[in-house]
């Protein structure tokens, strides 16, 4: 009877249109797909996407699939059962309101509960599920949630499952079927989860949102999907963030560095939909405990890529550059900028990094020089990022601990010319471009034409303007290495350096050998302009060609010294850079007397050479004849001969140092009175002509006292009458001679009036 009432109730509901008659309720489908119970999300081993076919009794796994929510509703065939028609309460749905803004300090916990992953999973479009309805297997089906987040079920039609957990979805379906069926037992199984969305941000190559399949979606694989971490990433503090069902943001810190360094497995943390991975930046880029070399070789780090950097300071070509991927980025940064200049201080290369807020980090100092110094030690592997600024500071000049040759021989040194200024005692002072050189300072003198003869190579000054505005200065001695045959200093020069070659004061250092400097290739081979005054044949301004004996040559280009020159105290005067005058007295007589080498005092532009006159009473030990016959004296002299027998005034050119016997062949001895011959000479001290008689007869007989030395502009008078007339005229009719020119003018007028003087009836 009860069964009849149940049948009538169902027919009544069908007639009223409440339900549709499931005509195939007793017909078993040809195949009903089922799957293993995967309400628990895939384990580390993964999940199979192939459904397991049901067994003969219509259920998968022999009908042993447990229900997610055991139903206390009695079986449809139980006595007194009926279909309830009262409204069914909706299942508890998750809170779909926007998540609250996370607090500044995210609460942390040791790790997320992995056992309750199914309880946290939210269904959504793309999930493949299997719904089993017992004992109504005809209603069981495998389906996928459509883009609207719903599925279509027999009896129920479209039902939305989006944002429900599998348990909530099962409860909702069972509640809906409970309106049409008596005590249906619903089991919902998640066959293939849809791709999940994970956010990756921080120090990764490509931060952003990533859809990934839950199978194998671990923290390590997601970092690789985002291109790997950057060189600045701190793998010790990778953070995993998620939102709990209560809306609270949670965070778990994961250390990926320790497993790499200790050879342990990397934490295999499965990811869930909505998770966020944050890779922080290392607080200190100079962390010595952070093995960058090991990290860079792991698959967690992004493959090397080109970065945009700025290289400034002591490099050949400072500017903006794109640095290709490199295993030694810092060294390659110097190379693409043309290399470090010789003045670069490689001990403290500075790196400034642009931070997210637009400010620069504190300077990071890196030592490249130490790696070069320790015989092939690898260069610092400091990674460079986009926006980094590499600054090569300038080396102070005086630093004995820095080996410039070591840096110069490396391949990170620039082989580029530098612009310098050379001033002081060089032939061509000014701005010069110095090519790359192994000995920059000597070559700087060469490109400036060489050091002048007055250059002080002991005290060359090099000045350099440093980045902080201070001036570094070093005094370099090139003379001592030249004198000892040693290698010249190899102090490097940089753009903007100033080389100052000072002028050497006269007589400042007796150990300074001008010959050594003059014979070196550092000395200029250029003429110098000097002034020669005093007892020389041609006083005035002269251009002195390069010579090993500049001072003697200065006397020669001035026509040689006169017979009145005192070579014991030749004075050389020089104007020093500070405005003072330096003077040195040079003795040229003693070397001539002893056969020693003449002094090699070098002369420079503007020097003044003064040859004094012999002071009266100071020539007792002074050999005039020796001087006259030397190369320092005027090589020629002119003597005038006046004689009645010769009927005129003759000019005779003699070799300087000649004596009276050298003119005997010009005197008509057969007609002259050999005892009436005199030499008239102008005495500048007395300002008048003086006469000395010569007894030629005694001279011919061997009396050497009569063989007096002749001097330039002497006048030899032959004949008593002529001598008497000239002596009378000189003493009576003429004014005192002001100089030798007046004296010569007097005799030249006599020569021009020879006819009146020597003609018949001359007075």
> What are the structure tokens assigned to 66, written together?
């447990």
CA distance 78 to 101: 53
The contacts of residue 153 (CB under 8 Å, 6+ apart) are: 131, 139, 141, 159, 173, 176, 177
**Model confidence band, residue 81 (pLDDT cutoffs 50, 70, 90):** very low
CATH number of 636-758: 3.10.20.90
| Residue with the two structure tokens 């003693």 | 590
- Percent of the chain scored above 70 by pLDDT? 71
Quote the pLDDT of residue 296: 65
**Coil, strand, or helix at residue 45?**
coil
**Coil, strand, or helix at residue 487?**
coil
CA distance 445 to 501: 9
For the chain, domain boundaries: 1-194, 196-297, 307-409, 418-519, 528-629, 636-758
49 phi, psi to nearest 5 deg: -95, 0
Q: How distant is the alpha carbon of residue 18 from its chain centre?
A: 89
CA distance 761 to 29: 177
Question: 618-651 pLDDT, tens per residue?
Answer: 877 888 778 777 777 777 778 888 776 545 567 7
**Coil, strand, or helix at residue 184?**
coil
Does residue 723 contact residue 717 with C-beta atoms inside 8 Å?
Answer: yes
Number of C-beta neighbours around residue 126 at 10 A: 16
Question: 363-408 pLDDT, tens per residue?
Answer: 888 888 887 777 655 667 677 888 899 999 988 876 777 777 676 7
| Residue with the two structure tokens 């049901």 | 54
Average pLDDT over residues 58-72: 38
Q: What is the torsional sign of CA 129, 134, 139, 140?
A: positive
Fold of 418-519: Outer membrane lipoprotein wza fold like (3.10.560)
Quote the pLDDT of residue 143: 94
Helices (H), 434-574: 440-447, 479-484, 514-519, 550-557
- Least confident segment among 395-409, 538-552, 703-717: 395-409
Quote the pLDDT of residue 13: 38
The answer on pLDDT for 617 being more than 90 is no
Q: How distant is the alpha carbon of residue 590 from its chain centre?
A: 58
CA proximity to 592, closest of 553, 625, 554, 559: 625
- Asked if residue 499 has a cis previous peptide bond (ω within 30° of 0), the answer is no
CA distance 132 to 181: 14
The chain-wide mean pLDDT, for the chain, equals 74
CA distance 452 to 425: 5
**How far apart, in Å, do the first and last CA atoms of the chain sit?**
199
> What are the structure tokens assigned to 171, written together?
């409860």
CA distance 231 to 48: 38
Question: 673-704 pLDDT, tens per residue?
Answer: 667 788 888 776 677 778 888 888 788 888 88
**Model confidence band, residue 292 (pLDDT cutoffs 50, 70, 90):** low
CA distance 142 to 187: 12
Is the pTM higher than 0.85? no
Quote the pLDDT of residue 132: 94
Average pLDDT over residues 84-99: 41
Question: 499-535 pLDDT, tens per residue?
Answer: 999 988 876 666 777 667 776 777 777 788 889 999 8
Which pairing describes strands 319-323 and 648-655: parallel, antiparallel, or unpaired? unpaired
Quote the pLDDT of residue 509: 62
CA distance 379 to 5: 94
The partner residues of 134 in beta bridges, in order of sequence, read 185
What does the H/E/C string look like for 614-674? CCCCCCCCCCHHHHHHCCCECCEEEEEEEECCCCEEEEEEEECCCEHHHHHHHCCCCCCCC
Right CATH for 528-629 from 3.10.560.10, 3.30.70.100, 3.10.129.10, 3.40.50.2300 = 3.10.560.10
The partner residues of 340 in beta bridges, in order of sequence, read 315, 413
The contacts of residue 99 (CB under 8 Å, 6+ apart) are: 243, 247, 249
Quote the pLDDT of residue 294: 66
DSSP string computed for 700-734 = HTT-GGG-PBP-TT-EEEESHHHHHHHHHHHHHTS
Quote the pLDDT of residue 141: 93
**Model confidence band, residue 140 (pLDDT cutoffs 50, 70, 90):** very high
Average pLDDT over residues 736-740: 57
CA proximity to 398, closest of 323, 310, 332, 475: 475
Quote the pLDDT of residue 103: 43
Instruction: Give me the architecture of the 307-409 domain, per CATH.
Output: Roll (3.10)
- Least confident segment among 63-77, 270-284, 285-299: 63-77
Domains 528-629 and 636-758 share a fold: no
Superfamily of domain 1-194: wza like domain (3.30.1950.10)
> What are the structure tokens assigned to 453, written together?
């003869």
> Which burial class, exposed, middle or buried, applies to 509 when counting CB atoms under 10 A from its CB (0-12, 13-18, 19+)?
exposed
In Å, how far are 538, 583, 608 from 542, measured between CA atoms?
9, 19, 10
- Least confident segment among 25-39, 415-429, 476-490: 25-39
Instruction: Give me the architecture of the 196-297 domain, per CATH.
Output: Roll (3.10)
Report the helix count and the strand count for the chain, using DSSP H and E: 19, 30
The answer on pLDDT for 467 being more than 80 is no
Q: List the strands of the sheet with 677-683, edge to edge.
A: 648-655, 636-643, 715-718, 677-683, 688-694
Question: 96-133 pLDDT, tens per residue?
Answer: 444 444 444 555 554 566 656 667 788 999 999 999 99
Residue 370 DSSP code = H
């Amino acid at each position: 009877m009860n069964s009849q009432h149940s049948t009538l109730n169902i027919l009544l509901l069908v007639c009223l249109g409440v339900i549709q008659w499931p005509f195939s309720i007793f017909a078993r489908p040809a195949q009903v797909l089922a799957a293993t119970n995967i309400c628990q999300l895939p384990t580390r081993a993964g999940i199979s996407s192939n459904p397991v076919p049901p067994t003969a009794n219509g259920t998968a796994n022999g009908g042993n699939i447990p229900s997610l929510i055991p139903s206390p509703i009695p079986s449809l065939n139980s006595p007194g059962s009926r279909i309830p028609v009262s409204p069914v309460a909706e299942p508890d749905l998750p809170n779909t309101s926007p998540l609250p803004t996370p607090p500044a300090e995210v609460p942390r916990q040791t790790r997320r509960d992995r056992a309750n992953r199914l309880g946290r999973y939210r269904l959504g479009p793309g999930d493949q599920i299997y719904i089993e309805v017992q004992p109504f297997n005809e209603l069981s089906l495998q389906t996928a949630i459509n883009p609207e987040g719903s599925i279509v079920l027999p009896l129920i039609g479209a039902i939305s499952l989006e944002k429900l957990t599998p348990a909530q979805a099962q409860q909702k379906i069972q509640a809906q079927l409970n309106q049409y069926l008596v005590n249906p037992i619903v089991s919902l199984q998640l066959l293939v989860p849809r791709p999940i969305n994970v956010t990756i941000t921080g120090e990764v190559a490509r931060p952003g949102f990533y859809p990934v399949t839950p199978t194998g979606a671990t923290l390590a694989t997601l970092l690789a999907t985002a291109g790997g971490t950057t060189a600045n990433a701190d793998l010790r503090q990778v953070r995993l963030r998620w939102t709990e069902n209560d809306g609270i943001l949670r965070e778990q810190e994961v250390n990926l560095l320790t497993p790499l360094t200790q050879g342990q497995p990397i934490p295999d943390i499965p990811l869930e939909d909505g998770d966020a991975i944050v890779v922080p930046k290392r607080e200190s880029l100079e962390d010595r405990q952070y093995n960058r070399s090991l990290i860079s070789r792991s698959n967690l780090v992004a493959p090397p890529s080109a970065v945009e950097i700025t290289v400034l300071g002591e490099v050949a070509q400072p500017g903006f550059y794109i640095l290709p991927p490199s295993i030694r980025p810092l060294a390659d940064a110097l190379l693409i900028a043309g290399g470090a200049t010789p003045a670069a201080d490689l001990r403290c290369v500075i790196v400034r990094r642009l931070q997210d807020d637009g400010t620069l980090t504190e300077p990071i100092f890196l030592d490249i020089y130490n790696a070069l110094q320790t015989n092939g030690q690898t260069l610092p592997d400091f990674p460079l990022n986009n926006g980094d600024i590499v600054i090569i500071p300038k080396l102070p000049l005086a630093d004995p601990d820095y080996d410039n040759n070591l840096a110069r021989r490396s391949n990170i040194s620039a082989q580029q010319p530098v612009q310098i200024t050379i001033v002081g005692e060089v032939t061509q002072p000014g701005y010069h471009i110095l090519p790359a050189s192994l000995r920059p300072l000597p070559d700087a003198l060469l490109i400036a034409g060489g050091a002048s003869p007055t250059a002080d190579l002991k005290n060359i000054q090099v000045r350099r303007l440093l980045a902080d505005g201070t001036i570094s200065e070093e005094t370099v001695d090139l003379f001592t290495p030249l004198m000892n045959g040693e290698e010249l200093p190899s102090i490097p020069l940089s753009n903007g350096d100033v080389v100052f070659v000072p002028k050497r004061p006269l007589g400042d250092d007796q150990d300074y050998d001008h010959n050594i400097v003059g014979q070196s290739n550092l000395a200029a081979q250029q003429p110098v302009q000097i002034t020669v005054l005093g007892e020389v044949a041609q006083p005035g301004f002269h251009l002195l060609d390069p010579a090993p004996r500049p001072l003697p040559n200065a006397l020669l280009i001035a026509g040689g010294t006169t017979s009145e020159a005192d070579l014991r105290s030749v004075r050389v005067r020089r104007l020093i850079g500070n405005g003072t005058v330096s003077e040195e007295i040079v003795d040229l007589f003693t070397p001539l007397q002893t056969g020693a080498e003449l002094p090699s005092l070098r002369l420079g532009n503007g020097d003044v050479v003064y040859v004094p006159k012999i002071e009266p009473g100071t020539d007792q030990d002074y050999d005039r004849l020796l001087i006259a016959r030397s190369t320092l004296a005027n090589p020629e002299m002119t003597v005038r001969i006046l004689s009645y027998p010769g009927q005129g005034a003759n000019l005779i050119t003699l070799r300087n140092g000649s004596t009276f016997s050298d003119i005997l062949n010009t005197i008509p001895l057969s007609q002259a009175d050999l005892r009436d011959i005199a030499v008239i000479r102008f005495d500048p001290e007395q300002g008048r002509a003086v006469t000395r008689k010569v007894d030629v007869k005694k001279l011919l007989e061997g009396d050497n006292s009569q063989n007096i030395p002749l001097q330039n502009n002497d006048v030899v008078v032959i004949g008593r009458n002529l001598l008497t007339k000239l002596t009378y005229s000189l003493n009576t009719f003429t004014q005192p001679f002001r100089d030798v020119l007046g004296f010569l003018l007097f005799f030249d007028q006599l020569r021009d009036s020879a006819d009146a003087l020597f003609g018949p009836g001359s007075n």
